[in-house]
Chains A and B, each alone.
Chain A
Amino acid sequence: MATEHPPQGDLFSIPALLQRNARRHGASPAYREKEFGIWQEWNWIETAEEIRAMALGFLALGLERGDYLAIIGRNRPMHYWAMVAAQMCGAIPVPLYQDANAEEMAYVLEHCGARFVVCGDQEQVDKVIEVQDHVHCIEQVMYTDKRGMRKYDHTQLNWLHDIQAEGRAAHQRLEDELDARTAELSYDSVCVMLYTSGTTGKPKGVVLSNRNIIETARHSSEFDRLVHTDDVLAYLPMAWVGDFIFSIGQAYWTGFCVNCPEGPDTMMTDLREIGPTYYFAPPRIFETQLTSVMIRMEDAGKLKKRLFDHFMAIARRVGPDILDGKPVSGKDRLLYRVGHILIYGPLKNTLGFSRVRVGYTAGEAIGPEIFDFYRSLGINLKQLYGQTEASVFITQQPDGEVRSDTVGVPSPGVEVKIGENGEVYYRGPGTFVEYYKNPESTADTKDPEGWVATGDAGFFEEGTGHLRIIDRAKDVGKMADGSLYAPKYIENKLKFYPDILEAVVFGAGREMCTAFINIDLSAVGNWAERNNIAYASYQELSQHPRVIETIQAHVEEVNRSVAEDPMLSGCQVHRFLVLHKELDADDGELTRTRKVRRKIIEEKYADLIAALYDGSSSIYTETEVTYEDGRKGKITATLDIRDAATGEPRHNRMAAE
């Protein structure tokens, strides 16, 4: 392994870091949560007390060493505390995706054999009760939100606050046991187990040790100089490794404050109120924010609109250079400063980015326009590349070396190499211990020397040493004529248009590429409103001839740019259709982290794919959909299929000459 210094003292676990923070940063805020319209705050001393009470309560309920405690709920201090409290008892926290349905949940709960489950609210409790019909390991269920829970059978069901009260009452009896268990934690103890969403097959439980989490947190905090006065907004799923690293790993390592929004709907308001200094969001969020700004500017007055356009043009020209500290003429500097007062400052404030020092985006490729928009405003938005098995960080962009088409240089302590087939491999202190109860998969992914296959194809750029990711290694294939096929590359280009929410490209082993397009309801809906186009449903809007024409123009533009690229010119989209329903995780078409599940889509929409290749100009189809409450229904539609103009591939032309 690369550089690794054991931390000073005995900071071998998250509970140990908690104690240190209570001593060192006692009075500074550790958690905030907006509830009843007010930000409630807990400092590190109060946090340590709350977690301790909860841990004592867990002991009183009979939590044993090595037990698994599942947490299902939105980002709330109580849920983070439950994870640390479980660690104090020698148990292993397993956060789950709260929007998972009972069936998905059952698999994970059974796989880890969770004895204790902490639920956010009645909805989650209901799912766990449903799961208990066939999963028998669950013994105690706890919940945070009391609402609607009065009539439930409480023999094995407890309000989490009651558990804390019980813990406080039992402190004399159980304190020695708790301290003994906490003291046993070592650098190699399991810190957390996270289930990967899995674009294929069943989720796998990734076991991460204290070493993985604390080393990664230490390296990455130093890389971006995070300090205890920083603020983050915890709004991404708790089951996702990123949230664990940011809201537990780095938060406990540096002692910064984790702010929990009131609910998913208020996230944007809460973001503005908190004004985080350190921020993470998947490209989708940045996209949505930019789209909503642009839509609102369309409706703004003439003067405002002209001011905005004028100064945004200046920002686009010089903003990124100013951010990177590159030389910029005095006049531009002055103009940028004026723009900051008039436009950028207020805009950043509205977006909640006034105080952002470091912002990251990852998970998917981000559109260059979107990326540049934020950077031109002076927001230090960077990209990183990572995965659960690496405790997030594989590569990241250092300040001053930021570009939209790379994912940066290897993170401190991480080694990266490219395999013979173009696949990216890494190893480092954050490299996971194993997949739980799955030695075959562990062996497949991690070789004896500790190198882990990412499953992504990429290459290091000459000169800069930055990594560029092309596509999932297994998705990269060959077309019938032998040219390179990289669907994700095309899909990303398509998705950079605000009108297009999702795109799925087909073409492996075929003569030509075709695509499914999902329109973005908010962007296209707004366009329809401004152009007096009436529609009653998503389906109707998606099949509107003018919508399809617009999409066709986008596809053809992408084709033109792809034709320029000698390596990928074969991937131009010859035919496409606009889907009549949004791809949805509830229907299994996307993962919970909203990645396209290619196989499932190919099976489910086999009729549509066939139509794309048989030359027909429209197709009638029936599709099963799952409603939010789990009921199923059917929708039917007749979809238009369009041919898109394609550019002459450059290498062919050269060969002809």
Chain B
Amino acid sequence: MTTRGATHAAGPKGPAEAMNHPADGWITPDGRKIGGTLMEMQNITLRFGGVTAIEDISFDIREGEIRAIIGPNGAGKSSMLNVISGFYVPQQGEILFHGQKRPPMRPYEVARQGIARTFQNIALFKGMSTLDNMMTGRMTLMQTGMASQAIWWGKAQREESAHREAVEKIIDFLEIQSIRKTPVGRLPYGLQKRVELGRALAAEPKLLLLDEPMAGMNVEEKEDMSRFILDVNDEFGTTIALIEHDMGVVMDLSDRVVVMDYGKKIGDGTPEEVRNNKEVIDAYLGVAHD
């Protein structure tokens, strides 16, 4: 695993100062370019009845970065991801995508905007092959209608070839050629996770949301997955927001980390900054809440 230790902007900082990265981007220690703001969450609050899942949280996601959201169980991480993907509509707050305010949207509309995701519990079509599952990832990019696809002639046929080609490139990228035609229900867990990543990549997302991509994996599978996440970011320039419990993975992979606890943001900054943040340490070591 490559380590992306943060050497720039060092020094202990509270959550308030953590966002003072240059507005037009910066270069990471390992030479990748981080651009301007891709998505900005402004004062998001999400409630389920009387329970406040997310309380007044603001942070941004920069173009080309790997942004992690961490926190103890029940901190509201998955809810946050669901807000980004449009599955939940927050009661308060704004989401700015490409600098524009995003009206409340259905998840498929969000997907069309170039946001793809994977799920904490794998959500693949178990009876379908790897290839077919990944082809469903191209749905939002298909132009021809259902009727002409059913007849499969002319434009629909050409379109399918083009989509198949794009999917094949991802299959090659993720090194899953050998399971191309295997029903995903028969695959081991680690591979299913990889197929799910493949399906998200097939949508050619600008922003890729990964909900616990390493959950339940052994060390070797984790290493493989980390490699793929870094490669996706590097080769396709995809911006990635991920939730992860494995701290080693998070610290190695991400450029910046948001830390949540009980629905509140308690830290935001480079892995180094977050690691030295007292509130974060308390949250993880279990200091009693008042």
Contact = CB atoms under 8 A, between A and B. Distances in A.
Contacts of B201: none
A151 B2 CA distance: 13
Contact of B231 (A36, A37, A148, A269): A148
B169 A36 contact: yes
Given A35-B172, A36-B165, A37-B164, A262 B31 contact: no
B234 to A, nearest CB: 7
A36 B173 CA distance: 10
B66 to A, nearest CB: 16
Contact of A263 (B165, B168, B177, B181): B177
A194 B235 CA distance: 36
Contacts of B131: 37
B178 A265 contact: yes
Contacts of B168: 36-38
A147 interface: yes
A265 B176 CA distance: 9
A372 to B, nearest CB: 30
A263 B178 contact: yes
B171 interface: yes
Interface in B199-220: none
A266 B231 CA distance: 23
A150 interface: yes
Contacts of B234: 148, 150-151
A238 to B, nearest CB: 20
B172 A269 contact: no
Interface in A113-167: 147-148, 150-151
Nearest to B223: A629
B106 to A, nearest CB: 33
Interface residues of B, number: 18
B177 A266 contact: yes
B178 A37 contact: no
A265 B235 CA distance: 24
A37 B180 CA distance: 9
Nearest to A122: B231
Contacts of A151: 30-31, 234
Nearest to A37: B168
Contact of A262 (B30, B165, B169, B177): B177
A135 to B, nearest CB: 25
A295 to B, nearest CB: 15
A147 B173 contact: yes
A535 B274 CA distance: 41
Contacts of A265: 177-178
B282 interface: no
Interface in B162-207: 164-165, 168-169, 171-173, 175, 177-178, 180-181
For the complex, would chain B's binding face be called helix, strand, loop or mixed by DSSP majority? helix
B164 A269 contact: no
Contacts of A269: 178, 181
Contacts of B181: 269
A36 B165 CA distance: 7
A38 B177 CA distance: 11
Interface string A239-283: 000000000000000000000001101100100000000000000
Contacts of B235: 147-148, 150
Contact of B172 (A36, A148, A150): A36
A266 B171 contact: no
A296 B131 CA distance: 24
B30 to A, nearest CB: 8
B253 to A, nearest CB: 16
Contacts of A38: 168
Nearest to A629: B223
Nearest to A34: B177
A35 B165 CA distance: 10
Contacts of B172: 35-36
Nearest to A268: B178
Nearest to B219: A627
A265 B181 CA distance: 13
Interface string B130-162: 010000000000000000000000000000000
A263 B175 contact: yes
Interface in B214-248: 231, 234-235
A150 B31 CA distance: 11
A37 B181 CA distance: 10
B255 to A, nearest CB: 16
A262 B169 CA distance: 13
Nearest to B31: A151
**Which of B165, B178, B234, B235 has most A Cβ within 10 Å?**
B178
A265 B164 CA distance: 21
**Which of B168, B173, B177 has most A Cβ within 10 Å?**
B177
A640 to B, nearest CB: 28
Interface string A4-40: 0000000000000000000000000000000111100
A148 B231 CA distance: 7
B226 to A, nearest CB: 13
A148 B234 CA distance: 8
Nearest to B231: A148
Contacts of A36: 165, 168-169, 171-172
A36 B178 CA distance: 12
Interface string A178-196: 0000000000000000000
A223 to B, nearest CB: 35
Interface in A550-589: none
Nearest to A151: B31
Interface string B239-273: 00000000000000000000000000000000000
B171 A37 contact: yes
23 contacts: A36-B165, A36-B168, A36-B169, A36-B171, A36-B172, A37-B164, A37-B177, A38-B168, A147-B231, A147-B235, A148-B235, A150-B234, A150-B235, A151-B30, A151-B31, A151-B234, A262-B178, A263-B175, A263-B177, A263-B178, A265-B177, A266-B177, A269-B181
For the complex of A and B, the 3 pairs showing the least CB-CB separation, nearest first, are A265-B178, A36-B168, A37-B168
Given A37-B131, A151-B31, 14 more contacts: A35-B172, A36-B168, A36-B172, A37-B177, A147-B235, A148-B231, A148-B234, A150-B235, A262-B177, A263-B177, A263-B178, A266-B177, A266-B178, A269-B181
